[in-house]
Structure 1
Amino acid sequence: MKNITDLSKIKKIYFIGIGGIGMSGLARIMKRNGFDVSGSDLKESAITDTLKKEGIKVFIGHKSKNLEKDCGLAVFTSAVDSSNPEYKEALKNKIPCVRRAELLALISKDKKTVAVAGTHGKTTTTSMLSLAMDFAGADSTNVIGGIFKNINSNFKIGKGEYFVAEADESDGSFLLLNPLVGIITNIDDDHLDFYKNVQSVQRAFFLFAEKIPYYGRLIACFDDPLTAELLNKTKTPFFSYGLGKSAHWRAVNIKKNQEGQSFDVLYKDKKEEKINLKVFGDHNVKNALAAYVSVRYLGFCSKAAAAGLASFGGVKRRMEKIGSFDTVDFYDDYGHHPTEIKNTLAAFRILAGSRKIKVIFQPHRYTRTHLLLKDFGPAFAKADEIFVCDIYSAGEKPIKGISKESIIKEIEKNGKKAYAFSDSYEIARSVKKGDLIVTLGAGDVWKLGYEIKYKLENML
C-alpha cells in the first residue's frame, strides 16, 4: 500500500464512517479545502444531513459500489474492520487507506499543533482552548470531537499558524500526531478492549508525551494520580496544573454562583487572572485551566485568554440543557465512563441544590460494562433516582451475564435505588415540580429527554 505523505495530487477522498463526530469534522475541512469529498455511514443522522447540505455525497450503508475507482484516498476509523466491503474495495483497487488520525497528522504537519489528549474532558478542553486562542488573536484551525456551541460546529479553518486538535487515544492512533504542545487532562482505565489494562493506557500517554520536542511543552494535570506518575518519569519539558498545591499552575478561590463559577489562576503562587465560567464542576475548572496555561505558554495575552473562557457556551451533549417544562429542567450529557458520570453528577448536584435529580442512564458497550462494572455502583452517588436502559452495543456482541440488571445491582449495593427503564411515559408520570431530568450515555439516550418532555407537556 502506498505511503501517503502529500495530499497535493489527490482530488477525491472517501470517508468510511463519515457520520462520526470526528470523521465528519475532517470531511468538512477537506471539502472546504477544495477536495471532492464523499463517504458512507450505517444510518442517517443530523450530522449526515449537515454534510449533504454542504455538498458532500453521503451513502447510507457500506457497499463496495459506493467507492469510485479513481478515488485518491480512503479514510477509516478503528470501528471499520477488514471485512468492511468498502475497505476491501479500496485495497483491491490499490487506493491508499489511512486512519483518521493519519489524515489529521497530514493536514496539520505544516502548522504548530496543540493536541488535547486525556481519557476525559478532551472535547470541552479543546473547545475552551480554541475559543481562548481566537480571543487572543491566534485564528487557529480547530478540530473538535463534539459540536462546540459557540460556533455550532466541530471544526474551524483559521489563517493562523496554530492547529488545535482533539487527540483521541481510543485506538492508539493519537501517537501519529506531532504536537508542539500536548495536553493530558487525565489517564483512566477506558478502551480496555484495545489496551487490555490501565498500565497500557498510561504507556500510550507516556509515548504521546515523548513525541513533544524539547522546544515544546507538555501541559498535564497533577491532580490525576496516573498523570502525576507520568510527569515523574518523562524527560519532556512540562507544566503541571491542578487544584493541589504541588502544581506549577493552580486554580484557587473557586466560587460557585447561579451562572456558573469563578476562580483565580496562580502561577508559582503569583496571581495572574480571575476566570469566570458559565459551566459547573471542578472538572471544568481544570479543563479551563489547561486551556489557559496553553494559551499563556504560547505567549498570548492573559486577559484575552480569560475573556475567551468567560465566553465559553458549552459543547452539545456536555451538561447541555435541552429544555424546560414548568419548573422541570431537562439536561443531556455524553458521560458513559464511571469517572465521567461521577464528575458530571457532582456538577449537577451543585446546579440542582436541593432539587431532585432523576437520571436515565444508557450503558455503552458490553466490554466497558463488563470491565468497569463495579465502578458504576458508586458513580451515581449524587443522583436521587436512577433508571438504567438496555446496553447500547455499538456493534459489539452481548457478553453473557452482562446487562442493565448487572449495573442496577451494583448501584443498589451502594445504597441507591435503581430501576430498569421501561417506558418514558412512566418517568413522565413520576416527575415532580423542580426535578432535574438528566439523560446520560454515549448512545441514543438523548432522545428520551425529548420524549419525556413531550409527554409531560401533553399530559392532562
Structure 2
Amino acid sequence: MAITSGFNKDLLAGVSRLHFIGIGGSGMFPLVQILASKGYTITGSDVNEGTIIDSERAMGIHVYMGHAAENVLGADMVVYSAAIHEDNPELQEADMRGIPCVERSVMLGYVSRLYPRSICVAGTHGKTTTTSLITTMLELAGRDPAAVIGGKLPLIHGYGKAGNGQNIVVEACEFAETFLRLAPSVSVILNIDNDHLDCYGTMGNLKMAFRKFALLASHTVVVNADDENTMQVMNSIDRDVRTFGIRKHADYKAENVREYKPGFYEFDVLEFGEPYAHIKMGAPGYHNIYNALAMTACVPLVGLCPSDAEAAAANFTGAGRRFEIKGEVNGAMVVDDYAHHPTEVGATLKTARELTTGTLWAVHQPFTYSRTRALLREFAEVLSRADRVVLTPIMGSREVDDGSVKSEDLAALIPGAIVVESLDAAAQYIKENAKEGDLVITMGCGDVYKAADRMIQE
C-alpha cells in the first residue's frame, strides 16, 4: 500500500513518445490531453471503443483495439492504469525491451507539477463535484485551468482539459495512497469516512494518509470544520489552514440556508464573520452546500472575487454521474449517481426524496465484496429510506468473489428489496413497475448507469 518511490523530476527526460495502456479510461484522458499539449507523441490501446477514444482519435492519437506486444514498439515510456495486470502482453513486452513503465498515479503526480498553482481536492465524498466547481469557477473567470476530474464536466466537454493558465485542479483519490504523489499548492479536504479500509486496515491509518496529504500543501489547506475526522487530522498541523462549514465556527460559514425550490439551496457566506458572498446552487442537494463552501474558500487563494464563486455555483448543474438526470420511463424521472458508500447513498436518497412525491426507487449495484461485507448493515439502513429497492449482483472489480457475501445478504436486511440477475433485468423490472410521478435512481461506481440508459430507451 505504501508508496515506495518519490517524485522524479527527470521522469520524462529523453521521452518523446508515450504509450498508454487503457487509454480509453476517464482517468487517463486528461493526462493524454495535457501531455499532448506539451508536445509529446501519444499512442494507446484499450479493449473497448468509446466516446473518449473517439475524442483521442480526433486529436490525432493512434489507438489500438486490443492489447498486443507490438503496440509498444517505438515507445519511450509506457503509462498504465491500475486496472492493468502484470501479465498484460504490452507490459511484459515493455519490460523485456527495457522501456520504463509507470502507473497512472505516478504520471498524474508529475503532471501536477507542470503548473505552478495546483489545487488538489481530497475527501471520501464530494471530490468530483468540488473539483468540478473549482474548475468551473476558474474557467468562467477566464483563467483557462488544466483539470483532472473523476466525472464528466459539461462545461469543458470531458473529464479534464489541458489549460494554458497557471492553475491545475486535480481530484485527489486516497485509494492506496495515490494522492500522496501529488504536489498541491492548495490541499482541500472535504471529509474523511470509513472507506478503502481494505487498503488501510484501520481508520487511524486512513487519517494518517490524509494528514500526509495536508502536509504536501505548499501554501494552504482548506478543510471542513464540521467533519470531526478531518479536524482531528488537522490538530497542530504546520500549515496555513482555512476552514468552511455550516454548524461549527469556520472561516467561511454558510448562514441563512434555505430551499429556493425543492432540493435546491441558496445561502449567504460569511468570511471571518463578515458578509462575503451569496451562493445560489444550480445543482440539487443539501450536501452540495459543503462542496460550494470549499470552492468559495479557495477564491482568495487563486486571486478571484466572491462574484466568481457565485457565478460558478449558479452555472454548475452537476458533473456526470453526480445526480445526473437521464430521462424518463413511464413518466418517472430517471437519475444516475456515483454513490457507493452509505454516507453518499444516504445523501443522494435525501436529495431524491425532496424532488418527488411519488415512489422513490433505488437501483443499487454494490461495489466490491470487502466494502459490501464491512458496511452491510450501514448500506441496509440507508437503502431502506427508499420506497422500493432493487439490487444487482455485487461488482467485484479488483476483488475475487470468495462467496462470503452476496447481494441477497443485503436484500435480507431491507424490507421488500429484491435482487435481479443483471443490469438488463433491473431495467426491465423498472419498466414494468415504475409509474408517472415516481423517481428512479441508479447508484454505484460500477456500470449501473447502463441500467439507467436502458430504462429510458424506446
Pick the TM interval, shorter chain.
over 0.9
The CA deviation string for residues 171-190 of structure 1, in whole angstroms up to 9 with x for no partner, is 21211111110101111222
CA distance in 2, matches of 1:421, 1:303: 48
- How do 1:26-105 residues align onto structure 2 when only pairs under 5 Å count? 26-68=31-73, 70-105=74-109
Query: 1-side partners of 2:36 and 2:298: how far apart?
Result: 29
Cα deviations by residue, 1:380-438 (Å, 9 ceiling, x for unpaired): 2431110000111224211223111121123x2xxx42111252323212112201111
CA distance in 2, matches of 1:42, 1:173: 25
Structure-1-length-normalised TM-score: 0.92
Distance (Å, rounded) in 1 between the aligned partners of 2:351 and 2:238: 35
Alignment of 1:288 onto 2:302: no
> Within the alignment, does 1:441 sit opposite 2:444 as a pair?
yes
The question of whether the paired residues in 1 share the 8 Å contact of 2:143 and 2:165 is answered with yes
Name 1:220's counterpart in structure 2. 223
> How far has the Cα of 1:209 moved from its partner?
0.6
Superposed CA offset, 1:274-326 (max 9, x none):
10111122221101110111122333111122112211121111100011246
Evaluate the alpha carbon distance shift between residue 306 and residue 351 of structure 1 in structure 2; reply closer, same or farther with a 3 A threshold: same
- Most deviating of 154-163 and 6-15: 6-15
Q: Please tell me whether the aligned partners of residues 361 and 438 of structure 2 are also in contact (alpha carbons under 8 angstroms).
A: yes
Could you tell me the TM-score, scaled by structure 2's length?
0.92
Give aligned-pair identity as a percent. 35
- Give the match's secondary structure for 1:124: helix
SS of 1:150's equivalent? helix
The aligned residue for residue 241 of structure 2 is 238
State the match for 2:25 in structure 1.
20
In structure 2, which of residues 401, 406, 412 is the aligned counterpart of residue 403 of structure 1? Answer: 406
Does structure 1 conserve the Cα–Cα contact (< 8 Å) formed by 2:391 and 2:420? yes
- Are the counterparts in 2 of residues 328 and 436 from structure 1 also a CA contact under 8 Å? yes
Deviation (angstroms), 1:53: 3.3
What's 2:430 paired with?
427
* 1:330 equivalent among 318, 334, 357: 334
Aligned counterpart in structure 2 of residue 124 of structure 1, from 129, 146, 156: 129
Aligned residue number for residue 417 of structure 1: 416
How far did residue 6 of structure 1 move? 4.9
In 2, the alpha carbon distance for the partners of 1:369 and 1:58 equals 36
11-20 or 42-51, which deviates more: 42-51
2:311 aligned counterpart, secondary structure: helix
Letter in 1 for 2:206: V
Please give the alpha-carbon distance, in whole angstroms, between the structure 1 residues aligned to 2:121 and 2:128: 8
| Residue 76 of structure 1: how far off its partner (Å) | 2.1
Task: Please say if residues 119 and 185 of structure 2, whose CA atoms lie closer than 8 Å, have aligned partners that are also in contact.
Answer: yes
1:254-269 equivalence runs, <5 A: 254-258=257-261, 260-269=264-273
Q: Which moved more, 1:194-203 or 1:5-14?
A: 5-14
Alignment match, 1:355 = 358
Q: CA deviation at 1:140?
A: 1.7
Q: Relative to 1, partners in 2 of residues 1:325 and 1:452: Cα closer, same or farther, differing over 3 Å?
A: closer
After TM superposition, the structure 1 = structure 2 runs for residues 269-284 of structure 1, keeping only pairs within 5 Å, are 269-284=273-288
Q: Is the 8 A contact 1:135 1:305 kept in 2?
A: no
**Runs of at least 5 residues in structure 1 that lack an aligned partner in the other structure:** none
In the TM superposition, what is the alpha-carbon distance from 1:104 to its structure 2 partner? 2.1
The one-letter code of the counterpart of 2:368 is R
Give structure 2 stretches of 5+ with no counterpart.
Answer: none
- Count matched residues: 447
Match of 2:214 in 1: 209
Aligned counterpart in structure 1 of residue 454 of structure 2, from 426, 432, 451: 451
What is the RMSD of the two structures over their aligned residues, measured on CA atoms? 2.1
Q: Return closer, same or farther for 1:204/1:46 CA change in 2, 3 Å cut-off.
A: same
CA contact (8 A) 1:361 1:439 kept: yes
> CA 1:173 to 1:20, structure 2 compared with 1: closer, same or farther past 3 Å?
same
Q: Tell me the distance in 1 between the aligned counterparts of 2:121 and 2:429.
A: 41
What is the alpha-carbon distance in structure 1 between the residues aligned to residue 141 and residue 80 of structure 2? Answer: 34
